[in-house]
Amino acid sequence: MKSAYIHIPFCEHICHYCDFNKYFIQSQPVDEYLNSLEKEMINTIERTGRPDLRTIFIGGGTPTSLSPDQLEKLMDSIHRVLKPSDGLIEFAAEANPDDLSPEKLKIMKNAGVNRLSFGVQTFEDELLQKIGRVHKQKDVFTSFERARALGFDNISLDLMFGLPGQTLADLDNSVKTALSLDAEHYSVYSLIVEPKTVFYNLMQKGRLHLPAQEQEAEMYETVMRQMSEAGIRQYEISNFAKPGYESQHNLTYWSNEAYFGFGAGAHGYISGTRTVNAGPVKHYIQLIEEKGLPYRDTHEVTREEQIEEEMFLGLRKMSGVQKQAFLDKFGRSVDELFPDVLKDLTEKGLICDTEESVALTHEGKLLGNEVFGAFLGEL
């Protein structure tokens, strides 16, 4: 096991588009949750053996919504239980620009966190308000400068496009502003309206006005062009980085490798079994107390599912699926298993199929879901 994801399901506020497992931090049993999180890590490792972790990622929710004492407690638990060693190459944490105090930054730095992911979304203050964010553009600059001053030299900025009322000029300005900060990594996602969100409810009432599909495609092409012109390489369908700063933790997912998922609502992939933890905080804590582990669901992944996942996850990477590595892993070739799909997608101009690999074309990036979906159920 090379990677561990740790979920902190607390937020100071709830964004209108977010469907992650999250709760207002006020009146939540945060300290009790952190105790249960440590117990989950201990009990999992007793079952699986001590991992030699290469990556740790703390996500949410908002990890930086924890108080300094709680953040310190979390970091102590990680070191005491997971015992990250010299083999750990990436220790990442998500952070909100408006609650990233110098004290919290120092706690993370002292604990060995070496990568920060800032939830920026847009540099347009009016748009930030529309999507339920409470930070302002100036907060991003302040937090970024603080992090740089403390020696953080691997920072990622998250941006979104296809937002309600967002224009191409808005996006162009946001990307240019993000690039002016000279971060090492950029994640740029299109808005997906998910059930159980504020935006979903507005859409059901006909009150959510989103850019047209053609305009959204133009926005994505604009992002790709701006990143390329700035020398920031696209290595995954939504991710761009300076050479050597690709997200090693996320590459675990896209390479279909195993990982721990700790915390309420977290997903894991352990020894061929996908696990889903209970989401509600009190239910999560109760399961830890009663059963030692908080699984709401487990699924043993069949060989056919593993192969299909290898294709649609691997194709998210610009390097695509390497045919020799696929053959070594599964004992059968991509060409043997998916001849009709490969032929069809090649004829449509959505993939480039060579002797060495299968990868998305430019057109394929724009229609990624069509490509990924083509491999599902084929076996």
- Mean pLDDT for 151-169 is 96
Give the pLDDT of residue 15.
80
- Mean pLDDT for 23-35 is 93
Please tell me whether residues 57 and 171 are part of one structural domain. Answer: yes
Give the pLDDT of residue 86.
83
Report the percentage of the chain scoring pLDDT > 90.
Answer: 83
Amino acid symbol at 88: L
Please tell me whether residues 205 and 327 are part of one structural domain. Answer: no
Please tell me whether residues 97 and 245 are part of one structural domain. Answer: yes
Please tell me whether residues 18 and 85 are part of one structural domain. Answer: yes
Please tell me whether residues 339 and 220 are part of one structural domain. Answer: no
Helices assigned H by DSSP within 231-280: 248-254
As a residue count, the chain comes to 379
Residue 209 pLDDT > 80, yes or no?
yes
Distance, CA of 316 to CA of 251 (rounded, Å) = 10
Give the pLDDT confidence of 314-341 residue by residue, as tens digits: 999 999 999 999 999 999 999 999 999 9
> Is residue 263, in this structure, part of any structural domain at all?
no
Residue with tokens 């933890």: 277
Give the pLDDT of residue 18.
78
Cβ pair 379, 308 in contact under 8 A:
yes
Distance, CA of 61 to CA of 20 (rounded, Å) = 7
CATH number at residue 212: 3.20.20.70
Q: Residue 191 CA to chain centroid, in angstroms?
A: 14
> Is residue 272, in this structure, part of any structural domain at all?
no
What is 106-168 written as a DSSP string? HHHHHTT--EEEEEEE-S-HHHHHHTT----HHHHHHHHHHHHHTT---EEEEEEES-TT--H
Closest CA to 20 of 251, 279, 276: 279
Please tell me whether residues 230 and 324 are part of one structural domain. Answer: no
CA 308 vs CA 236, 259, 294, 325: distances in Å: 18, 18, 28, 15
Phi, psi of 25 (to 5 degrees): -70, -25
> Is residue 314, in this structure, part of any structural domain at all?
yes
Distance, CA of 305 to CA of 311 (rounded, Å) = 10
Burial class (CB in 10 A: 0-12, 13-18, 19+), 172: middle
Give the pLDDT confidence of 259-291 residue by residue, as tens digits: 999 999 999 999 999 999 999 999 999 999 999
Please tell me whether residues 71 and 167 are part of one structural domain. Answer: yes
- Overall domain count for the chain: 2
DSSP state of 81: I
> Is residue 183, in this structure, part of any structural domain at all?
yes
The lowest-confidence range among 5-9, 81-85, 262-266 is 81-85
> Is residue 216, in this structure, part of any structural domain at all?
yes
Domain region containing 215: 3-254
Average pLDDT over the chain reads 94
Residue 77 pLDDT > 80, yes or no?
yes
> Is residue 298, in this structure, part of any structural domain at all?
no
DSSP state of 339: H
Distance, CA of 369 to CA of 379 (rounded, Å) = 18
> Is residue 135, in this structure, part of any structural domain at all?
yes
Please tell me whether residues 238 and 333 are part of one structural domain. Answer: no
CA 338 vs CA 23, 170, 307, 311, 332: distances in Å: 43, 42, 10, 10, 11
Residue at a domain's end among 221, 254, 287: 254
Give the pLDDT of residue 193.
82
Give the pLDDT of residue 17.
78
CATH number at residue 311: 1.10.10.10
Distance, CA of 108 to CA of 71 (rounded, Å) = 8
Burial class (CB in 10 A: 0-12, 13-18, 19+), 305: middle
Relative to beta strand 115-121, strand 90-95 is parallel
306's CB contacts (< 8 A; 6+ apart) are 256, 272, 330
> Is residue 283, in this structure, part of any structural domain at all?
no
The pTM assigned to this predicted structure is 0.95
Please tell me whether residues 181 and 97 are part of one structural domain. Answer: yes
